[in-house]
Structure 1
Amino acid sequence: MVDNDWIVKKLNAFLENPKSQRKLSTFIDIDCGYHRSGTIWNSEATVSLVREVINSSVLSFAGLYVHCGDSYNVKDMEMTVSDVQNLTIDHLIHLADRLKSLQIEVPLLSTGSTPSCSQPCDKFSYVQEMHPGNYIFYDAQQFLLGSCQLNEIACTVATRVVGHYPSRNELLIDCGFSALTKQGEDRLPSGYVIFPKNPELKLTSMTQELGKITSLERINYSKYPIGKILFMYPYHSCATAALYDRYYIHENFIVTDIWKPCRGW
């Protein structure tokens, strides 16, 4: 994926010497207003970039890609997820039509973001490909955005109670930010996570390996003996899942498989 001619020139130089046996499939990264990355959807520079890829002897124009990241900011924008996605796809279609008028066919329109995939808009059918990274697991953030229900979250972190502190009305667990990340701070009534089986609990703070849990009511410590396992829905499953070298797949708490992710940079 490219969004500027500098990258295209470097790819051309690298693949030309020695000559690549096959062309490199290349998407153009389009900025439709989110301003994370990409070339502006209605700029002449974007048209020129597409031409450079098409004219390359070692690159193959695969299509237009946009990350619909605005779908995470709908409350600030006073729009719905569908509104944002409709506008994003409108911009993508406008660019595709502009290219078609110049005799340039666009093989594929592609977009991404879990909220926009989970809450499809009227113009969803105009897009041939989706890249929703968080869609596989969901999480507390997606629940807040309306992408899923609580019982649809498929990523759970298990932790054990390792300490009782009645004077502070706290439990200590063997799970800190190295097991969850600190994303989601001040976003949930229950702290950094959601406790699906124990909604009265709140994860208030974390160090690297430990977390502090409290409750609005006095904690019944007999309900949470040392060694008891608690389950948590993370705020952002992408970030949390990246911390682990294996995932235990279970059905009714019986482990049926172990997945080893491709991880690292």
Structure 2
Amino acid sequence: MKKSEKKRTEAFDSSEELRRTFRKIRRHRGFIVGFLLLFSLCLLTATSLLFTPHDPYKMNPKASFQPPSWNHPFGTDDFGRDTFSRCMVGSQTALLVGLVSTSISLGFGLLLGLLAGLSSKWVDEIIMRLMDGLYAFPAILFAIALISVLGSNVKNATIAIGIARIPIFAREVRNSVRQVRIKNFAVAARAMGVSYPRQILFYYLPSILAPLTVLTSSSFAYTILSESGLSYLGLGSQPPFPSWGRLLMESQRFLTRAPWLSVFPGIMIAWAVLAFTLLGDGLRDIADPKI
């Protein structure tokens, strides 16, 4: 009877905590706005995989430099291509690069951070000094240097951005693991001889999930901004494949003649970055309001 009562109490506590979390989410306007912006962006990207209003690659010189209209909401470029359709396809590049680059940073950063946090002092020192050396280079400059060696395309830009962000994830995971390691439940687990894989899975990962989620969200915003910057410099997506940064670079020559060619890709970049930034800030406030 006591065991069943204990289980019911634990279930009640878990459900009550879940309800409190949902209440915090509903009351956090920044999180709601970020979620809606991200949802609409994902919906636009999913739609672009099925169809676009016009062929984003088809040239029509007779329709060049048309201003925004019902038929062409974002106008047309110097080759008569529909800018709205090209921005839609560019969202695929932005989200894919964000997903892959952040996965690279998260995967290797998590592995190195756990290894540094749970290993001996000299292993920790070696890993962290390597991360400090990598972090000493500005991420965008490191990406440019790596792309100059690997070649200019969106694949290499994705890899370069992902590698440049590894030290940030590794340091966050390492610091969080060090804090969890001295807590009573972690000390008790080691004293009972619980294996390292089980400690990581059941003790450390749940404890570092909140800060890692916040960092992942903010990293998405940085990654999309970095990809746009590299594409603007001609080091990311290559013609004829559109990306928001590439669209900005191609339209700068016509800033006075056709300003909409620069305005709308810039709005798309701001849309994506704002969505992930608000989402990350909201997650941080919900996870720890004291921060």
TM-score, reference length from structure 1:
0.24
Task: Point out the structure with the larger helix share.
Answer: 2
Task: Point out the structure with the larger strand share.
Answer: 1
TM-score, reference length from structure 2:
0.22
